[in-house]
A and B are shown apart, each in its own frame.
Chain A
Amino acid sequence: SQQGEEDPQALSIQEGENATMNCSYKTSINNLQWYRQNSGRGLVHLILIRSNEREKHSGRLRVTLDTSKKSSSLLITASRAADTASYFCATDGVNAGGTSYGKLTFGQGTILTVHP
């Protein structure tokens, strides 16, 4: 099964509202990343949060990480129609040697629709 489980599976909001997506994972991680995908093609990297960080901001994006609960959330504030896309969390696990090399395990994603 996927390392990351995301909820909700789909989210529909109006422009200007905030959108919150959640991600849970099962094993120890080195970092957690959020990606956006339009039209089922290439993924665009949004933000990376390391396992020793609790919160990170980038523009209208805010990501939190709670390693004790093995969960993360992505908040998009003041959403726009252009934010309509699928959003994925991906975890970079720690291998037996305690290091990682970027093998990402993705969640199933949240489909966000922002209505103008």
Chain B
Amino acid sequence: GAGVSQSPSNKVTEKGKDVELRCDPISGHTALYWYRQSLGQGLEFLIYFQGNSAPDKSGLPSDRFSAERTGGSVSTLTIQRTQQEDSAVYLCASSHQGGVYEQYFGPGTRLTVT
């Protein structure tokens, strides 16, 4: 595809439910990143993938958050037992290799936990 795509664009869920957010990176990009943007915390790094492995998960806020990447392409961010403080825009980005390469961001998924 031409750019990074994310789905769904908006998700409203009830507190306690699980949600899955999907990211399709630019074809050929080996590095993939998840970020979260919320009013109180700004833009925060969550997790980094190089290929299918995640050498840095340090930004995941709790063990309710997990992510995987398969085939060196699509990534899924899963939030279990959602809480209201999980409400945010979740942004995915990919880059050619990581490091000094610019990152291309998707449009984000706006998650609202009621």
Contacts and interface: CB of A to CB of B under 8 A. Distances in A.
A42 B107 contact: yes
Given A92-B100, A108-B42, 8 more contacts: A42-B106, A42-B108, A45-B103, A100-B99, A102-B31, A102-B101, A104-B45, A105-B45
B95 A102 contact: yes
Interface of B: 4, 31, 33, 35, 37, 42-45, 48, 50, 55-56, 89, 91, 93, 95, 98-108
A103 B48 contact: yes
A12 interface: no
Interface residues of A, number: 27
B83 to A, nearest CB: 21
Interface in A41-83: 41-45, 48, 50
A106 B43 CA distance: 6
B108 A41 contact: yes
Contacts of B4: 42
13 contacts: A2-B42, A30-B100, A35-B105, A40-B89, A41-B108, A45-B103, A45-B105, A92-B99, A101-B31, A102-B33, A104-B33, A106-B35, A106-B44
A107 B43 CA distance: 8
A104 B102 CA distance: 10
Contacts of A104: 33, 35, 45, 103
